[in-house]
Structure 1
Amino acid sequence: MLGHIGGSGEGDMATKARWGQHPAADLVIAHISDTHLLTGGVPLNGSIDTVANLHLAMERLAGSGIDFDALVFTGDLTDLGEPGAYDILRDAVEPVAARLGAEVIWVMGNHDERAPFAAALYGESVENAGENAARPQDRVHDVHGLRIIALDSTVPGYHHGELTDAQLDWLRRELAAPAPRGTLLALHHPPVPSPIDFHDALELRDQHKLAEVVEGTDVRGILGGHLHYSTHSTFAGVPVSVAAATCYTMTFLEPDRLLSGVDGGQSIDLVHVYDDRIVHTVAPLARFPEVASRPADLIDRISKLDPELRLELLSSKESTFDRLLRALDDAGA
């Protein structure tokens, strides 16, 4: 199933694409991060309902009208790595993903624990718990020709990130042959600088080693989490996009705070994959008062107008919504 920006009827994306210079996206991915769930749905820090936030995110995705090809979760899925917290996560996400027809891709974060992560989310045997705890949870996913590689950048017992030489050798072998639609890397610790000094101690270490592996390959983008705010950069010539958390976010404008986490601004990212580019869009979870709108069912009617008239009615500063409706009625659209 190819991804669409949401619409109200058959052929909407083809119609929308003809209005401008760009075609429909080949694939659409939801990038979600840092859910920080606790067993029993216990509020994080005593006040943040992380389960409700997760359900809101799933509700927003399911009701968006967008055809998602994958849901990528870039780590800190739980706060303490508890098996029961992974059960809450799976039960909230997998039914929605099934309705959307989207593949779910889980990535380890520093608050996760490898053995319960592997058992609950990938069905690996609890008898192999010791092996899973020692083995990085690196996996390769093929999403309609787009290769998404989940990299486990966690260090057991610590919050900073690392990729071992063995992981980098494995990644180099995986990237040796290009994928039909290229590759996205998804890891918790993003290889970007942070405006929060405190994050320097918890960043991905030896980033130059990863850069040496990525340079010259078909990697088209890197998805990250960990920071609890949305940010964008480049790394080894590749765009990096970090999704903010669904649990709580960081603010930078409090001069007397080393860190300032707030219960607001939660969001997810929409990743639109085109043949020649990838577009990342921040989508807030909260619903705000609507101050301007147009009904979705107009798209089919507007598409029937002559292109020059359509441009005039939609772009001219002299045009009004009433004038648009009159033109649609006159055209029998």
Structure 2
Amino acid sequence: MTAFSQHPPADHLVVHLSDTHLLGSGRQLFDRIDSVTPIRSLMERLVASELPIDALVFTGDLADRAEADAYLRLRDLVEPWATQLGAELVWVMGNHDEREPFTEILWREEPTMEPRDRVVMLGDARLIVLDSTVPGYHHGELTAAQLTWLAGELATPAPHGTLLALHHPPIPTPIELMGLIELDDQAALAAVIKGTDVRGVLAGHLHYSTFSTFGGVPVSVSAASCYNIDLVAQSSKILAANTSAVSASLVHLYPEQVVFSIVPMEDVEDITSYDASYRPMIEAMSPLERREMFSNKNSEFNRRSDQEQSGF
């Protein structure tokens, strides 16, 4: 396939979702939020896109009350889609989850109260899952033993680098109440990943999409797939949430860069589109012909697009 950009194609693509908060017995959150339909809608769109997805990564708070039936609902919903996509399915613990049912149902392993850390290889890229949960509490921490284990794993670089996935993001939040349940001793984690092949950190927990850096490494926090916090709520409220901005993220790993992109969960109507049948025609053009066709504002293509209000 002909490249249209100076950049090579991405080596890897990860779809990052978070905070599904499913309940058991088909119940809805707050008796009004359907947590299943947005996930199903996104999975259908991913299949239709035919994107080469390496992994589906869910960064915690998978079951709102850690009910076995909620984990079963989520597993039975997502696993067939992951198989159809040919994607690795990666589950990460969140503060609403409990290790024993999480391990037994989602990881299909013997129940345990040990931190649910693991390494998943996505071809030449490495994904390290960190369990930042504290049993019985909502704040996060990584124990000294976990950090020692992480340092040992990172001592050997992966060919295409490493992504970390954990629930509690190691970044500030403008929502004061969320600061009460943030990840403790973030500097300790920064010290471990400094100078390693870690290329990005994926997290959830905040219930809004945001981006930052941590120890020089980019951080992407996925919004929740059920409800999200209003960052500009009225001053009379110290926290407010609604069902807007429900989204996931695409994580493209390029040879030298990592790119994070937000994708709405719901299916929406196109306002314009270009059929894939145009690709062979574009590939047959020389670079100069493509420049004149698509960049020149006076080209026939752009004049027609302006008239139809459907240009780039």
Give the alignment's TM-score, normalised by structure 2: 0.94
Aligned residue for 2:266?
286
Aligned residue for 1:5?
none
Aligned residue for 1:67?
52
Which one of the candidate residues 215, 224, 231 is aligned to 2:210? 231
Aligned residue for 2:196?
217
Matched, 1:299 2:284: no
Which one of the candidate residues 76, 80, 83 is aligned to 1:98? 83
The range that moved more, 293-302 or 314-323, is: 314-323
Aligned counterparts of 1:320 and 1:82: Cα–Cα separation in 2: 59
Map Cα deviations across residues 47-71 of structure 1 (whole Å, 9 max, x no partner). 1000122212222222222110111
Matched, 1:51 2:30: no
Aligned length: 304
Q: Secondary structure at the match of 1:50?
A: coil
In structure 1, what residue type is equivalent to 2:267? R
Aligned counterparts of 2:59 and 2:137: Cα–Cα separation in 1: 17
1:163–1:295 distance in 2 versus 1, CA, 3 Å: same
Aligned counterparts of 2:145 and 2:73: Cα–Cα separation in 1: 32
Matched, 1:119 2:104: yes
Aligned counterparts of 1:322 and 1:254: Cα–Cα separation in 2: 41
Aligned counterparts of 2:226 and 2:252: Cα–Cα separation in 1: 24
Map Cα deviations across residues 158-202 of structure 1 (whole Å, 9 max, x no partner). 111000111111111111111111111000000010111111101
Following superposition, the deviation at residue 307 of structure 1 comes to 1.9
Matched, 1:259 2:239: yes
In structure 1, what residue type is equivalent to 2:251? V
Aligned residue for 1:79?
64
Aligned counterparts of 2:291 and 2:218: Cα–Cα separation in 1: 33
Following superposition, the deviation at residue 287 of structure 1 comes to 3.2
Aligned residue for 2:256?
276
Aligned residue for 1:88?
73
Q: Secondary structure at the match of 2:212?
A: strand
Aligned counterparts of 1:69 and 1:245: Cα–Cα separation in 2: 21
Contact 1:39 1:88 in 2 (8 A): yes
Following superposition, the deviation at residue 291 of structure 1 comes to 2.6
Following superposition, the deviation at residue 124 of structure 1 comes to 1.1
Following superposition, the deviation at residue 289 of structure 1 comes to 4.0
Aligned residue for 1:147?
126
Give the alignment's TM-score, normalised by structure 1: 0.88
Contact 1:313 1:323 in 2 (8 A): no
Contact 2:293 2:302 in 1 (8 A): no
Contact 1:58 1:92 in 2 (8 A): no
Aligned counterparts of 1:265 and 1:110: Cα–Cα separation in 2: 22
Matched, 1:205 2:184: yes
Aligned counterparts of 1:202 and 1:62: Cα–Cα separation in 2: 36
1:297–1:257 distance in 2 versus 1, CA, 3 Å: farther
In structure 2, what residue type is equivalent to 1:229? Y
Aligned counterparts of 1:257 and 1:246: Cα–Cα separation in 2: 23
Aligned counterparts of 1:104 and 1:243: Cα–Cα separation in 2: 17
Contact 1:313 1:324 in 2 (8 A): no
Aligned residue for 1:310?
290
Aligned residue for 2:22?
37
Aligned residue for 2:159?
180
Contact 2:294 2:302 in 1 (8 A): no
Following superposition, the deviation at residue 286 of structure 1 comes to 2.4
The range that moved more, 285-294 or 260-269, is: 285-294
Aligned counterparts of 2:160 and 2:285: Cα–Cα separation in 1: 35
Q: Secondary structure at the match of 1:58?
A: helix
Contact 1:41 1:49 in 2 (8 A): no
Gaps of 5+ in 2: 306-312
Contact 2:41 2:267 in 1 (8 A): no
Aligned residue for 1:331?
none
In structure 2, what residue type is equivalent to 1:301? M
Contact 1:41 1:51 in 2 (8 A): no
In structure 2, what residue type is equivalent to 1:147? R
Q: Secondary structure at the match of 1:96?
A: helix
In structure 2, what residue type is equivalent to 1:70? A
The percent of aligned pairs where both chains have the same amino acid is 52
Matched, 1:167 2:146: yes
